[in-house]
Amino acid sequence: MTRTPEFRFRRLRCTQVLRDLTQQIQLSANDFILPLFIEENIEEPVAIESMPGVMRIPETQLAQRVQQVWDNGVKAIILFGVSHNKDACGSDSWDEEGLLARCIKIAKKAVPEMLVISDNCFCEYTDHGHCGVVVNDDVDNDSTLENLQKQVVSCAKAGVDMIAPSGMMDGMIAAIREALDEAGFTHIPVMSYSTKFASAFYGPFREAVDSSFKGTRNTYQQDPANPREALAESMQDEAEGADILMVKPGLAYLDVIANIKSHTSLPLAVYHVSGEYAMIKAGAAAGVIDEQSIVLETMTAFKRAGCDLIITYYAEDLVAWLKK
């Protein structure tokens, strides 16, 4: 693409209308998914100190909160349970009367149109905080898959709209698809956390879900230094039957997003994680950046890189800002 020396880029930047007409990337309420943290056996919402503005909601207030989110224009939520019934394998997560199943039922009953997604992992339900069954100091892949199969079927029976496994076990998509199909839930899509890095950006999330976790997830989450493996992880999940792929975290991994996008025709999601949220909040509180502009620019970057869906704690703010 060459242009004459007389070409002037600024011609199309002269007026707001021209700039709007020629704008390539646009954000809308249809882009966003809001994470919600729900705790059982508490009376009042609990503020998460490292994530100003984000609360752990009591289970008893979930219905009300889901209605509020819907009224605010956000159409999709992803649920994280904060369990008081933790054990070594996270069995509460597949109990049909357990916290996760109950949250799904409450959310779907409150607003049937809301897209309700379950974060399918074990770290919020295990007493050690690992994302599965621990054998010889490491998460055992295949026994975790068996539990994951029970978990997703329990979620499906509770009425979940989409399954989102975040544990980074090998073979998790094939195992989930098989379990859902066998139980008659062939219509439920799977959004895989397909390329998820072992990242320091999840720091505040650990407070959010009250995790006792110590150590690393380096034997299951991916090394940020391996871009080839990052692509292969997502391609594997596509081959196993994932309906939507995901990269997590977001801003530090735009190259990975763009690369995966160029290799798939599936929708691609990104998780703008707790640490990214906390950094913007801290910068804004210190008066060194403008929060709204920074968030909108960040979301634009995700879409520019190739994302179709964005999971972000800013979802409600974004919809409000975009309305103006």
Decide if 150 contacts 132 (C-beta within 8 A).
no
Residue 50 touching ligand PBG (CB under 6 A): no
**What is the tally of helices (H) and strands (E) in the chain?**
11, 12
Residue 76 touching ligand PBG (CB under 6 A): no
Q: How far is the CB of 121 from ligand PBG (least distance, A)?
A: 4
CA angle 199, 271, 265 (to 5 degrees): 115
Is residue 281 annotated as part of the catalytic site, yes or no? no
Q: How far is the CB of 213 from ligand PBG (least distance, A)?
A: 7
Q: How far is the CB of 60 from ligand PBG (least distance, A)?
A: 24
Compare residues 22 and 34 and give the one whose CB is closer to ligand PBG.
34
Helix (H, G, I), strand (E, B) or coil at 163: strand
Residue 210 CB neighbours (<10 A): 17
Is residue 214 annotated as part of the catalytic site, yes or no? no
Token pair in block for residue 179: 């379990």
Decide if 222 contacts 233 (C-beta within 8 A).
yes
CA–CA distance, 12 with 25 (Å, rounded to integer)? 16
Residue numbers 203-232 binding ligand PBG by CB under 6 A: 205, 217
Compare residues 138 and 182 and give the one whose CB is closer to ligand PBG.
138
Residue 305 CB neighbours (<10 A): 22
Residue of the chain from 32, 197, 202, 220 that contacts ligand PBG (CB under 6 A): 202
Residue of the chain from 147, 151, 274, 312 that contacts ligand PBG (CB under 6 A): 274
Residue 121 touching ligand PBG (CB under 6 A): yes
Residue of the chain from 50, 118, 126, 166 that contacts ligand PBG (CB under 6 A): 166
Of the candidate spans 88-96, 117-125, 177-185, 287-295, the one that interacts with ligand PBG by CB under 6 A turns out to be: 117-125
Residue of the chain from 119, 240, 316, 317 that contacts ligand PBG (CB under 6 A): 119
Backbone angles phi, psi at 143, to 5 degrees: -75, -30
Name the DSSP class of 253: G
Q: What contacts 232, CB < 8 A, 6 or more positions away?
A: none
**Would you tell me which residues interact with ligand PBG (CB under 6 A)?**
119, 121, 123, 131, 166-167, 202, 205, 217, 273-274
Just list the catalytic residues: 196, 248
